[in-house]
Structure 1
Amino acid sequence: MTTVGEALVKSLEARGVRVVFGIPGVHTVELYRGLAGSSIRHVTPRHEQGAGFMADGYARVSGQPGVAFVITGPGLTNTLTPMGQARADSVPMLVLSGVNRRDTLGKGLGHLHELPDQRGMTALVALSSERVEDPTTLSPALDRAFAGFATGRPGPRHIEVPTDVMGLAAATAAPQPVPEPLLPAAGTIAEAAARLAGAKTPLILVGGGALKAEAALRALAEALDAPVVQTVNARGLMHRHPLTVPASPSLEPVRDLIRGADTVLAIGTELGPTDYDMYGRGGLPWPKGLIRVEVDAAQLARHPADLALHGHAEAVLPALVAALPDGTATGGAARAETARKGALAALDDTTRAGIAVLNAVRDTLPGSIFVGDSTQAIYAGNLYYDHDRPGGWFNAATGFGALGYAIPAAIGAALADPRAPVICLVGDGGAQFTLPELMTAVDENLPIAFLIWNNHAYGEIAASMDAVGVSVIGCHPTPPDFKAVAQSCRMLFRRVEMSPESVAEALRDLRSAGGPVMIEIDAGG
């Protein structure tokens, strides 16, 4: 007999799942039946929040949904924060949880891990939340989840299995074919191409929704001679290209570039304030002649455009390129260079020093994946940084903004691409949210360099309080002895001053270790 738990594992295999993150519990034992004999690798975090963040990092690098197995009740509530981050950043995540027996649900009988309405609670964060009421509903629930990842805006989805259903007999069904990427009607493509071809100062705003379309983006930008302004989640696209503007559209010189455009093509970006108005100055200078390429119809409705192209960037951009006439010069490279120089000049010395460290790390380990938390160096890079790998720069300092993200997300990233060096850049404060997950990196022997930016404080919060005349309180939790932490985790360790040369030298010295290493950067404080 094949049980629901075994059918679940086989169904995940059939849908291409290769790694799951989870902590088994008495309410998920039957979901683990068959896992040991499968091709799926199980990775054990130290906390369910870690499981969710690992699934997030895995999804961003692999391009496939990250999968977490969690218990009912506290296991699922611990995963809600990662689900919130995944929703904000459009990351495909499948959370599979247990739930109590069907005959007990919603009755308040005091069962272990009981919640009044677990699915209802999760549905407020996830894009969808379903319950497998009987064995016949398992495959359809999985089909709907994976179809949702492929057709709409990606994000977290949840499926729960009652404990009395997990062990029932189940048949496995072949997955339904995943729908093809969405493409607007040919007439809409032609209209967009005509508007873009007629522009005198075209501009492209690009978000994380374009990460799968770098070649077509490059061809489109070159055909239009249009500068390409990158949001945080788009960094790594068109590295060092003369049309690239790897700077925040919140910076005034980049806003000037937007104001000067007569036609703006926004691709896979929600135009949200954490990218476009991080200083709270009154919103984006709304683009003229706005054309949007967006997979989410609801998102298109939130910011109406002159022309909306509802579809996936990887399908829409090649069609646009094919519909464009031969390109004409619009001074795009000069406009991009003016914006780049102006953006750098607008930053203070501390921010530029952080960018210099990032550049040194990138050049020391080309093609690395940088995973970050809300810390000063990450804030600096989000303002201005040109990464050399599409999708290789991501962090939790925008969108939902969850501290504790970097360490577990870096683990997920390293599992998704074992060949790439992974740089985890986290502050001393943020590191303490998920410090135990270091042992997961040790267990899996992952090539991650954990860079601890230690300023002995929640430095940005302290500065914000001081700037508005609020007495600084609660911003200086004592950091641990990171050398002792590294030694207890059996990691190589180096403490360095905050300079590009010192950090690069430490990386060169430690990179041959093969497994995880820790570098503590003395950032003052």
Structure 2
Amino acid sequence: MTLGEALIRLLEAYGVDTVFGIPGVHTVELYRGLAGSEIRHVTPRHEQGAAFMADGYARASGRPGVAFVITGPGLTNAVTAMAQARADSVPMLVVSGVNATATLGKGLGYLHELPDQRGMMEKVALSSERIANPDELPGALARAFALFASSRPGPVHIEVPIDVMALPADDLAFDVAGTARPTPERALIARAAELIASARSPLILAGGGAKTSNAELKRLAELIDAPVVQTANARGLMHGHKLGVPASPSLKAVRKLMADADVVIAAGTEFGPTDYDMYADGGFVVPPVLIRIDIDDAQLKRRPSTIAIQADCRAALAELCDTLGAASTHDRGGAERARSTREAAFAEIGPAMQAQVRAVEHIRDALPNSLIVGDSTQPVYAANLYYDHDRPGGWFNAATGFGALGFGPPAAIGAAIALPGVPVVCLAGDGGFQFTLPEIAVATDAGARVIFVIWNNRGYREIETSMRDVGVEPVGVSPAPPDFIKLAAAYGIDAERLSSAGELGAALTRAHAKRQPCIIEIAIE
């Protein structure tokens, strides 16, 4: 057995069932064991697509997404998607080749050579390791999967020199050890419970780190009668609940709710500016009495807090509820505070964005319990400001954090491969859709039943608006889009063009009934 074959066996042992990648001459040996394994290989049209698919797969499944890429350009093509995954705490393992050991760092001009490939990756990935001999492989994978399981996740890179891939690895151990998540410190939970019990107007801020804690979050909110504000990556939590506030903390209405709270519990949120200060007006102020819950100790130290609890959100929220007990239940005006904030926040975004939010609601209502995977486009921006999704973790996009255009189509394909029984809609603009347009062919190849909704306003309309707002004559914002209907036909994908977003619900119902990839284009005047 070679190291390449051992790699596949170890990935199987860690529960990996899908790998996204494009083979090349520098990764042939990594593929030696793949054909005979249970792992499915999905071939994108570009390595950036491979990593974006791994990202979407991870967000949908909760398991790490895995990508195989070649030395040099294959890896640099994947860097943008890895940076997006790091910004959004998405577990991703990227395995690449690297040139032969004896040539590294010498600048001899070998194929795909970089001056320092691993040094470059250490700036983007949470960690980057080189496998110098087969004995190092199990430990490198163990460290990667331990990081995914027990701390704030993100992309991890492992590189294998081409002269090491085919070395014998018969004596490797294939035992996989589980890794426990950090548990909340009881003394800190008790102190937090005392603060919360005495609060007159408590508030909960939920971020992406809480998206698997819907039941615990709801229980705590009801117990202490506290509104729950959800950042973009937390949408889907508290759907339709009287205490839910599915609105951006950058809005004045939500900031007022935060300012009026005497105790704020922040669960799994980093207080990033794309959520809390997206207008860059400096209006966000860290709450003076703040209880933070986060799995990452480094993240807790980046903002001042009254009590910092390092733990998995689900475990910490459950312990808080148990410690508080029913004695904490009394009317704190939570439902009224939440209602008035929802109304004020929706009014604040204005008629144009309200119409775009309603377009997103058409998708949600036509396909209940679906995943909506967004790119950076007008209705996604609007819905990040205010939108209540009906599935925890079912609304995600690249319009926050790193903000990579072209994320939507491949990430939606990865999500559909992870959850084949769940409706998946990609919502992208005509500009962003063209960044990764060829990846739609993968939906057909892989049987990923994604419905691609293209918001076609003939250019980068949001950027044009931003230029006009500051008195800059728009330049470079009106690239002519292709005929998406003809392109769909070329890829063998059904498509239809709508003249208004009001037709979207019926079109989605028709597309979903076909049980295959489809494109719906909305022509926006």
Q: 2:102: which partner in 1?
A: 103
Q: 1:292: which partner in 2?
A: 292
Counterparts of 1:12-27 in structure 2 under 5 Å?
Answer: 12-27=11-26
**C-alpha separation in 2, matches of 1:382 and 1:497:** 24
Q: 1:215: which partner in 2?
A: 215
Q: 2:493: which partner in 1?
A: 491
Q: 1:172: which partner in 2?
A: 172
Contact residue 414 and residue 447 of structure 1 kept, 8 A: yes
Q: 1:441: which partner in 2?
A: 443
Contact residue 2 and residue 167 of structure 2 kept, 8 A: yes
Q: 2:139: which partner in 1?
A: 140
Contact residue 55 and residue 85 of structure 2 kept, 8 A: yes
Q: CA deviation at 1:174?
A: 2.7
Q: CA deviation at 1:184?
A: 2.3
Contact residue 11 and residue 172 of structure 1 kept, 8 A: no
**C-alpha separation in 1, matches of 2:60 and 2:465:** 33
Contact residue 151 and residue 181 of structure 2 kept, 8 A: no
1:236-274 deviation line (CA, Å, top 9, x unaligned): 011100000000111111111000000000000000110
Contact residue 291 and residue 307 of structure 1 kept, 8 A: yes
Q: 2:261: which partner in 1?
A: 261
**C-alpha separation in 2, matches of 1:452 and 1:36:** 36
Letter in 2 for 1:366: P
Q: 1:522: which partner in 2?
A: 523
What SS is found at the alignment partner of 2:285?
coil
Determine which of 459, 463, 468 is the counterpart of 1:461: 463
Q: 2:342: which partner in 1?
A: 340
Q: CA deviation at 1:11?
A: 0.1
Q: 1:316: which partner in 2?
A: 316
Q: CA deviation at 1:13?
A: 0.2
Letter in 2 for 1:319: E
Contact residue 26 and residue 70 of structure 2 kept, 8 A: yes
What SS is found at the alignment partner of 1:61?
helix
**C-alpha separation in 2, matches of 1:113 and 1:283:** 47
> TM-score, normalising length from structure 1?
0.98
Q: 2:351: which partner in 1?
A: 349
Q: CA RMSD for the aligned pairs?
A: 0.8
Percent sequence identity is 59
Determine which of 467, 473, 476 is the counterpart of 1:474: 476
Contact residue 377 and residue 462 of structure 2 kept, 8 A: yes
Counterparts of 1:24-423 in structure 2 under 5 Å?
Answer: 24-170=23-169, 171-326=171-326, 327-423=329-425
**C-alpha separation in 2, matches of 1:372 and 1:360:** 15
Contact residue 202 and residue 262 of structure 1 kept, 8 A: yes
**C-alpha separation in 2, matches of 1:196 and 1:491:** 54
1:65-121 deviation line (CA, Å, top 9, x unaligned): 000000000000000000000000000000000000000000000000000100000
Aligned length: 522
Contact residue 197 and residue 325 of structure 1 kept, 8 A: no
Contact residue 258 and residue 285 of structure 1 kept, 8 A: no
Unaligned runs of 5+ in 1: none
Letter in 1 for 2:347: A
> TM-score, normalising length from structure 2?
0.98
Letter in 2 for 1:19: T
Q: CA deviation at 1:296?
A: 1.0
Letter in 2 for 1:518: I
Contact residue 292 and residue 305 of structure 2 kept, 8 A: yes
Contact residue 14 and residue 176 of structure 2 kept, 8 A: no
**C-alpha separation in 2, matches of 1:321 and 1:282:** 34
**C-alpha separation in 2, matches of 1:123 and 1:160:** 12
Contact residue 497 and residue 521 of structure 2 kept, 8 A: yes
Letter in 1 for 2:513: S
1:154-202 deviation line (CA, Å, top 9, x unaligned): 1000000000000001133234422212112211111111111111100
Q: CA deviation at 1:511?
A: 1.5
**C-alpha separation in 1, matches of 2:176 and 2:515:** 40
**C-alpha separation in 2, matches of 1:459 and 1:67:** 34
Q: CA deviation at 1:283?
A: 3.9
Contact residue 224 and residue 330 of structure 2 kept, 8 A: yes
Q: CA deviation at 1:15?
A: 0.1
Contact residue 211 and residue 390 of structure 1 kept, 8 A: yes
